[in-house]
Amino acid sequence: MRILAVNYPKTPKDEKKLVYFNKEYDKRIRQQVYIEQMQMTLEKPDLESMSSQGASLWEEFILLKRRCDIAVVRDPIQSKAKVA
């Protein structure tokens, strides 16, 4: 993996390496990637079934309070620092 590393600021050696990698990608892989891309088909998502029901303000408040209570138990010093 070290060969793929490019240091910044780029040197002429790094530029040469990038040109080489781009050329090799075009020569060896680009056509196969294009073919796979054209073969792939995805179904359109059903947005009606994805509708979400949000939590009420009270439910969100209870969850937030519970998280804060857990944080106080786990790290009481940090909680004291926040209050002070």
The mean pLDDT of 25-52, rounded to a whole number, is: 85
| The residue to which tokens 């088909």 are assigned | 41
pLDDT of residue 82: 65
Torsion of CA 66, 72, 74, 77, to 10 degrees: 160
- Predicted TM-score (pTM) of the model is 0.41
Mean pLDDT of 49-62: 84
Query: In angstroms, rounded to a whole number, what is the distance separating the alpha carbons of residues 84 and 78?
Result: 10
**17 within 8 A of 8, measured Cβ to Cβ:** no
pLDDT at 63: 94
Give the per-residue pLDDT at 84: 58
Residue pair 17/6 in contact (Cβ under 8 Å)? The answer is yes
